[in-house]
Amino acid sequence: MKDEYDVIVIGAGPAGSTAAKFAAEKAEVLLVDKHREIGTPKMCGEGLTRDAFRDLNIPFDRRFINRDIYGIVLYAPGGSKVEVKYDEILGHIIERKIFDKFLAAEASRNGAKVLADAYASLIIKDKKIIGVKIRHQGEEKEIKAKIVIAADGIGSQIARQAGIDTTLNPGDLHSCFEYEMSGIEIENSEMTHIFVGKKLAPGGYAWIFPKDDDRANVGLGVSGVEKKTAKYYLDQFIKSKPGLMKGSILEINAGAVPIGGFLQELVKDNLMVVGDAARQVDPANAGGIHYGMLAGKLAGITAGKAIGSGDLNILKEYEIEWRSSIGKHQEKLLKIRCFIDKLEDEDMNYLARVWNGDDVVKITTGKHGIALKKIIKHPKLLKLLKKFV
Ligand SMILES: Cc1cc2nc3c(=O)[nH]c(=O)nc-3n(C[C@H](O)[C@H](O)[C@H](O)COP(=O)(O)OP(=O)(O)OC[C@H]3O[C@@H](n4cnc5c(N)ncnc54)[C@H](O)[C@@H]3O)c2cc1C
């Protein structure tokens, strides 16, 4: 390892590894992660849309694709369900432990140096970030960097250390608990299953993401303001389902997801923030892998450009570009989430009934928008919508 790099990326999750991969096309890059094994622990439901693979040019590789998913079954509190099924593959349940390692290996293939078991903190002199201090295998080392990319996840200390306001309201947080379970009954293992309801998962939802015909990530997220824990609600949920009760627990994960929109400041001097650290998470479904990788790509390309031109002012382009593209989309989804948060259980039951008529609806690719329009034109639903806007 050298004493100086153009770019140091802190955190080898999907956002950091993608940033390192793209930055390495134009710059000398070091990617560090505090964990001894990149990708572990997984802390994830492991759902990822096919679009994410396409957007990031990731191969559909069976080493990290566990299962193909054709749609979603949504369970309203009263028991009715809405099934949105596609004729083609909508997404995948991945193996995060292998996927994250693959992304880090891609970064190294592009020329980045990758280092696991390396805890990093900023070195700031005269109010300027001049590099990173790394604790690796019991030894400390100082490494200079022209640019630092903070991709250190939801608990990000790096952005705060750089003076960025990272205050997070508990209400803008999904607190999650998840078991990987085997020997369970899954009604349809080619679909993801989402359960909503104020009593079941206040401010969040429960999920069953199948990894096999009888194995799945079974998890639940609740609003950060809830007094009872996500584990409490998850255990109640499992108790209510005999098909889950009979299963075994292979893995336990707990974590949180920031769902309140992205940080006001994504770039400060020579520091860029990406992924969960920047709160670049889809607020509607609390998924962060896709957004994190898109942000990582944008930040990595911008960092490479800045190094190539010798002008660090270019880094601001990352923030401008995020705000005007994916960030806009994120803001729209945030409004939808706020709308959903205000729904009572009876509203959700009503929506499910309107959507369904009497039976399960099958929506094929491309017609999704039409079905939504039909619902939005429904006079009673319009009244309901007006209550919230
Ligand atoms: C229970 C649960 C289920 C989820 N399910 C899904 C899902 O199904 N689909 C989806 O898209 N998203 C899901 N998410 C969200 C998703 O996991 C995150 O959005 C995603 O991992 C964010 O990627 P990231 O690279 O920004 O951060 P992370 O993946 O958190 O990576 C950050 C990395 O930084 C490292 N790090 C932290 N501090 C330091 C330091 N000081 N020095 C060195 N390294 C450091 C950490 O070790 C870690 O590897 C889920 C989250 C939870 C908690």
- Closest C-alpha residue for ligand 1 atom 17: 44
- What residue's CA is closest to ligand 1, atom 50? 44
Q: Count the neighbouring beta carbons within 10 Å of the beta carbon of residue 2.
A: 9
Q: pLDDT value at position 362?
A: 45
Give me the pLDDT at residue 348, please. Answer: 79
Give the Å distance between the CA of 34 and the centre of ligand 1: 13
Q: Whose CA is nearest to atom 33 of ligand 1?
A: 11
Q: What is the pLDDT of residue 160?
A: 96
Q: What is the pLDDT along the chain (389 residues), one digit of tens a residue?
A: 899 999 999 999 999 999 999 999 999 999 999 999 999 999 999 999 999 999 999 999 999 999 999 999 999 998 888 888 888 999 999 999 999 999 999 999 999 999 999 999 999 999 999 999 999 999 999 999 999 999 999 989 999 999 999 999 999 999 999 999 999 999 999 999 999 999 999 999 999 999 999 999 999 999 999 999 999 999 999 999 999 999 999 999 999 999 999 999 999 999 999 999 999 999 888 899 999 999 999 999 999 999 999 999 999 999 999 999 999 999 988 888 888 788 888 877 877 776 666 444 444 444 444 455 555 555 555 555 554 44
Q: Is the dihedral of CA 343, 344, 349, 354 positive or negative?
A: negative
- Asked if residue 47 has its Cβ within 6 Å of ligand 1, the reply is yes
Ligand 1 atom 27: the closest Cα is on which residue?
153
Task: Phi first, then psi: give them for residue 340, nearest 5 degrees.
Answer: -60, -40
Q: How far is the CA of 389 from the centre of ligand 1 (A)?
A: 33
The pLDDT score that the predictor gives to residue 389 is 41
Question: Quick check: CB of 14 below 6 Å from ligand 1?
Answer: yes
Quick one: pLDDT at residue 358? 47
Give 36's DSSP letter: S
Is the distance from the beta carbon of residue 224 to the nearest atom of ligand 1 less than 6 Å? no
Helix runs in the chain, H state only: 14-23, 50-55, 96-109, 158-161, 230-239, 242-245, 289-309, 316-324, 326-341, 345-356, 368-377, 379-386
Give the per-residue pLDDT at 370: 47
178 lines ligand 1 (CB under 6 A): yes
Q: Measure 13 CA to ligand 1 centroid, in angstroms.
A: 6
Q: How far is the CA of 333 from the centre of ligand 1 (A)?
A: 20
Q: What is the pLDDT of residue 367?
A: 44
Residue nearest to atom 37 of ligand 1 (CA): 152
Give me the count of residues in the chain.
389
State which ligand 1 atom lies nearest to the alpha carbon of 119.
Answer: 42
CA of 307 to the centre of ligand 1 (A): 27
Write down the pLDDT at residue 31. Answer: 98
Query: Which domains are seen in the chain, by residue range?
Result: 4-46+95-166+263-324 (3.50.50.60), 68-91+169-260+340-389 (3.30.9.10)
Closest CA to 262 of 283, 247, 246, 285: 283
209 φ/ψ sector (left φ>0, alpha ψ -120 to 50, else beta): beta
Among 17, 32, 33, residue to substitute to test ligand 1 (most atoms within 8 Å of Cβ): 33
Encoded tokens for 31: 């990617």
Pocket test for ligand 1, best of 38, 43, 156 (most atoms within 8 A of CB): 43
Rounded to 10 degrees, the C-alpha dihedral 123/289/74/174 comes to 0
- Could you tell me if the CB of 16 is within 6 A of ligand 1? yes
Residue 39, ligand 1, Cβ within 6 A: no
User: What pLDDT shows up at residue 82?
Assistant: 85
Interacting residues of 360 by C-beta distance below 8 A, sequence separation 6+: 81, 82, 83
Q: Is 153 in the pocket of ligand 1 (CB under 6 A)?
A: yes
Report the atom number in ligand 1 closest to the C-alpha of 176: 1
Please tell me the residue having the least CA distance from ligand 1 atom 10. Answer: 287
